[in-house]
């Protein structure tokens, strides 16, 4: 009987904490105090962290990047007012889930580009146009971005892409067709390309 009461108390406590957090989310958002909302989504390549500002999705991170480190970096780069707020990211989470289910070939999300500037941003904006299941080489991307000799800079832009998957840097390969690098790891890059090729 004591175990049952303890379990009910813990369950009631968890429900109360959930309601309290939901109220905090709502109050912070309505008072303009929620600058960066985040949530996680489970996917075939592991958990992903999604973070958004009022402007749009600002960060997508792989678990191997350490979510706490990513959130600290967002607090430094965007605002310290960061809060778990799953409801603000429902649409982004749904689109990510649809992508992994093979039901979505293109993301339709507002993006906040503030974490990428200059040539890196030019490269990333080009990547959005690489179609599902298609690939380009680093050399092709450099030429398309207006700097044909900036192949290494393209690699750096891909390696520091704050919005992988949504901004598909996994579709960029070396000229010889080998994978190159990937923030989510080569197994993840291989899995994403394989999933798209099979569709």
129 is a domain residue: yes
138 is a domain residue: yes
51 is a domain residue: yes
Co-location of 41 and 78 in the same domain = yes
Q: How would you classify residue 141: left for phi > 0, otherwise alpha for psi between -120 and 50, otherwise beta?
A: alpha
Exposure string for 181-197, b = 16+ CB within 10 A, e = fewer: ebbbeeebbebbbebbe
Co-location of 130 and 180 in the same domain = yes
Catalogue the active-site residues: 169
| Overall number of domains in the chain | 2
Residue-level pLDDT at 22: 55
pTM: 0.83
Co-location of 95 and 38 in the same domain = yes
Residue-level pLDDT at 199: 81
Co-location of 154 and 95 in the same domain = no
> What CATH code is carried by the domain that includes residue 58?
3.30.160.70
Digitized pLDDT (tens) for each residue of the chain, 199 residues in all: 455 445 546 666 666 555 544 555 555 455 557 999 999 999 999 999 999 999 999 999 999 999 999 999 999 999 999 999 999 999 999 999 999 999 999 999 999 999 999 999 999 999 999 999 999 999 999 999 999 999 999 999 999 999 999 999 999 999 999 999 999 999 999 999 999 999 8
Token pair of 121 as six digits: 């941003």
147 is a domain residue: yes
Residue-level pLDDT at 1: 47
85 is a domain residue: yes
> What CATH code is carried by the domain that includes residue 138?
1.10.10.10
Residue-level pLDDT at 170: 98
Co-location of 89 and 137 in the same domain = no
5 is a domain residue: no
- Among 47, 65, 100, where does a domain finish? 100
9 is a domain residue: no
Closest CA to 180 of 199, 150, 152, 144: 152
Token pair of 54 as six digits: 């009022």
3 is a domain residue: no
Task: Determine the structural domain holding residue 59 and report its residue range.
Answer: 34-100
């Amino acid at each position: 009987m004591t175990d049952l009461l303890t379990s009910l108390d813990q369950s009631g406590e968890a429900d109360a904490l959930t309601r309290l957090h939901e109220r905090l989310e709502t109050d912070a958002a309505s008072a303009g105090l929620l600058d960066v909302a985040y949530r996680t989504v489970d996917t075939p390549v592991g958990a992903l962290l999604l973070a958004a500002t009022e402007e749009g999705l600002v960060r997508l991170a792989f678990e191997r990047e350490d979510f706490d480190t990513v959130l600290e970096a967002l607090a430094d780069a965007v605002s310290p007012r960061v809060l778990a707020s799953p409801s603000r990211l429902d649409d982004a989470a749904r689109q990510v889930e649809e992508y992994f289910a093979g039901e979505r070939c293109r993301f339709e999300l507002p993006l906040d580009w503030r974490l990428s500037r200059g040539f890196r941003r030019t490269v990333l904006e080009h990547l959005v146009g690489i179609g599902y299941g298609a690939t380009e080489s680093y050399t092709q991307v450099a030429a398309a971005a207006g700097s044909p000799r900036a192949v290494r800079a393209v690699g750096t832009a891909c390696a520091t892409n704050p919005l992988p998957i949504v901004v598909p840097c996994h579709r960029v390969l070396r000229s010889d067709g080998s994978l190159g690098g990937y923030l989510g790891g080569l197994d993840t890059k291989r899995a994403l390309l394989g999933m798209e090729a099979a569709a």
